[in-house]
Structure formats: structure tokens, C-alpha cells
Amino acid sequence: MTHDKKAALYKVFSDGEAAKAQAEAAKAEAEARVAEAAAPAQALPDQYASVLLDMAVRNMSVGWEKISENRTTHESQTVRNEAIRFYGLHSENTCQILGVGTLHVQNAHIWPYNNKENLVLCDLNETDIDNPRNVLRLHKDIEHHFDRMHLTLVPDGDGFTLKILDPTVKSSPIQDAKSNQPSTIGEVEGKQLILSPKHGKPWRRLLGTHSILAHRKARLNRHIESEDLSAAEVNTNELMKWSLDREKQEQIQFLLRRSAVQTENPE
């Protein structure tokens, strides 16, 4: 893991714990090098993705649902233009759920702007917040419910399908929908996220994070009754597993060690 990424990880924790965390990490890494030299590297436990998400939720200083209000018009236009170019969309009036000719299309950050400092938990940097791989182009009413995790995008083959998790929003209208488009949120259930095979794709690990957290919220609110993981959640966990390379595994090992220390020494 690079020095910059370590520094970013330490920043997630409170200032009072940073020095302690750094010392613990240095000691643990030294021990890990000795162990690695003596034996083959062991695979991470299957539950590592859940641990990562737990750490992300626990360390966020503000909620996912807080809408950022300090973006300038120039910033929004820049993000919009880069996303349109990256995904190969027809125009600024193309929604990646409703299609071409949609009014009120907005930038939809998968990982919210106001939590950009925590992107390090998914092995990204704060500067990646406006990367088009973290931005979708959605009708404002779909974006509204996506931000609040009333709906999410679940893995479906090589793409993603929209899934509604809060049934109370199904009757919500989609403003100024055209005659050939869904007019309510409930009617977009099962719609595929529009992605061109010749152009870019969003970060799957961020869509996976959103999907898992949205399912957790739905279960907490009893919109999902069963305690068993749904097929969508199983697929998302598998997506998270295969989205992590060796460096990301090292990051998660750091988080696992840190999590163990917090559990053993609660404040």
C-alpha cells in the first residue's frame, strides 16, 4: 500500500486516534512481513466485504442522505459533460434508465459528494468523487430516490437492473415523463441501466456498496421481511469480492486489524 493511501486511511479516523492507529499498523505490517516470509499468504475471509462496509458506515461523519448544496454551476456542468462523454450518451437529455429525450436529467453520484473523504474505504481518493465512473445521469425523481436508497441497482449479468426496495415510493410520479416513458417510480422496476459496450462503465464496487447498504436499510425498515440474503445481495457480494485486487486486499487487512483493536479496546 502506498504512503498516500495509508495517510488517507488514517484521516478517516479521529485525530486523537491517528498516531495510535499508525503505530499499530506499522507493528502489524512488520509482523505480517515476517509471517508472509515463513508461510504462503492466506486468503481473506469471505466476510471481508461486509467488514469494509461496516467500517464505511461507522466512520462517515455525515449521512448518505444529506444533499450537498455547495456545488457551483460550473462544477455541475463539467461533471455532466464528462459523464455524457464517458458513457457515450446521446445528449444531456438522456437518462440512463428512461432513455433519450428525458427532461430533468441530473448528475447522480453513486458515492455521495458530501462523503468524499471516505472514498478511501473503497480504495479511491477524494478527487475521484466527480470521476464519471462515480456519476450516473438520471431523471431527478429517480435520482432523488436513489440518493435515499429507496431503490438501487443490482448486478444482472454484465449490467445492472433497477430494484425498488421501499414499496411506499412506487406511486411517486416521474415529472414530465413522455407518453412512451414510465410515469411513476414503480414502473421503472426492472429497468436496465443504459450502458454502451463501446464506452465506459461505472465503478462496480461503488454500485455494489450502494446496493448492499440499500438492502440493509430496507431490512431495517422492514421492507424486506426475510433475514436471508436475497439473490441480488448474494450477487452483489460476489461482485465486491471480484472487484478487489491485491492492494485493495492489503487495505482491507488494515481495516480488519483496526476493527479488531477497536473491539478489544472499546472507549
List the one residue out of 137, 140, 161, 159 whose CA is nearest residue 151.
161
Residues of the chain with pLDDT > 70: what percent? Answer: 57
Indicate the domain borders of the chain.
3-58+248-264
CA-to-CA distance for 264 and 24, rounded, in angstroms?
13
DSSP characters for 63-94? -TTPPP----HHHHHHHHHHHHHHHT-SSTT-
pLDDT in tens, 90-133: 999 999 999 999 999 999 999 888 888 878 777 789 999 999 99
List the one residue out of 95, 132, 96, 97 whose CA is nearest residue 111.
132
Is pTM beyond 0.75? Reply is no
pLDDT in tens, 122-162: 778 999 999 999 999 999 999 999 999 999 999 888 899 99
CA-to-CA distance for 180 and 162, rounded, in angstroms?
18
CA-to-CA distance for 144 and 104, rounded, in angstroms?
12
pLDDT at 115: 82
pLDDT at 198: 94
Contact 23, 132 (CB under 8 A): no
| Residue 172 confidence class, pLDDT cut points 50, 70, 90 | very high
Q: How many CB atoms are closer than 10 A to CB 131? A: 21
Q: What angle do CA 263, 265, 267 make, to 5 degrees?
A: 100
Sequence-distant contacts of 196-203: CB under 8 A, at least 24 apart: 196/87, 196/88, 198/88, 199/86, 199/87, 199/88, 200/86, 200/87, 200/88, 200/132, 200/133, 201/133, 202/110, 202/133, 202/134, 202/135, 202/136, 203/110, 203/122, 203/124, 203/131, 203/133, 203/134
CA dihedral 116, 256, 205, 214 (to 10 degrees): -80
**For the chain, what is the mean pLDDT?**
75
pLDDT in tens, 240-261: 554 555 555 455 445 444 444 4
Helix then strand then coil, in percent of the chain rounded to 5, is 50, 10, 35
SS3 137: strand
List the one residue out of 118, 169, 149 whose CA is nearest residue 216.
149
